[in-house]
Structure 1
């Protein structure tokens, strides 16, 4: 006779509920730790996210950024104003639609993002080297494959 997987409710396996909670807690802690080593000074998580999005995706309109970040246009205007004051972004007319402006990174903004990425990568690499065995690093790589699949759902 096969043993049944223990369930919480509505057929949800206990292991799925436990994994969901653990993923949420660990990712929150890791995100906070990476922000600490990011070297982006007083930027908020929202400002950092917008800078990273522009870095990855290239110039974008304010409305496109608001939609991508899932915030109201008024909130995006405030985010862009704050990072604009720091000289991290520039606005140029959209060649396809003169009524819109495209937001892109300045050289200072590009260097800030690149430097932050380097600091986070260095911290992660150093931590994985100093505190994990090769077998544990391989387990992390395998888990990342599964978590990437989860993120695509």
Structure 2
């Protein structure tokens, strides 16, 4: 197997495992009542702070009409709020509410606890060190 074949196989394996892991973690997190798009918007607002719905649409690669529906559903659930943009009163900024932030924090804790417990049950210390090392390599790739 040549270098390009190895890289292609590694890429395929990483893709499959991350996809499976994402589905499994979603099931654990309690995000089941949120669509993937809603969960993604909450994560983005939590990580990057307030944004307009049009900016979110661009960042999430969805139509503005679709983002309007996503934001409305999150707002109705009390997870986000809209406020006038202090720099441009015509625009509204979408912000995470305290409930939205608590939801994100609780979901993240649940995911991390499940993953930590599962890794601890299934892996030796040597395997756990290998996971840490591989994650560092993949993080380097993500920042390339």
TM range (shorter): over 0.9
Quote how far apart the aligned CAs of 1:40 are: 2.3
Quote how far apart the aligned CAs of 1:152 are: 2.0
Instruction: Give the aligned length.
Output: 144
For residues 92 and 49 of structure 1, the distance between their equivalents in structure 2, rounded to whole angstroms, comes to 20
Query: Which structure would you say has the larger Rg?
Result: 1
Structure 2 spans left out of the alignment, 5+ residues? none
Q: Name the SS for the 1:87 alignment partner.
A: coil
For residues 92 and 17 of structure 1, the distance between their equivalents in structure 2, rounded to whole angstroms, comes to 46
Q: Which has the larger share of helix?
A: 2
Specify the alignment match of 2:104 in structure 1: 113
Please report the TM-score for the alignment, with normalisation by the length of structure 2. 0.94
Quote how far apart the aligned CAs of 1:41 are: 3.5
Structure 1 spans left out of the alignment, 5+ residues? 1-5
Q: Name the SS for the 2:31 alignment partner.
A: coil
CA RMSD of aligned residues (A): 1.2
Please report the TM-score for the alignment, with normalisation by the length of structure 1. 0.89
Aligned pair 1:130/2:121, yes or no? yes
Specify the alignment match of 2:11 in structure 1: 20
For residues 93 and 62 of structure 1, the distance between their equivalents in structure 2, rounded to whole angstroms, comes to 12
Quote how far apart the aligned CAs of 1:81 are: 1.3
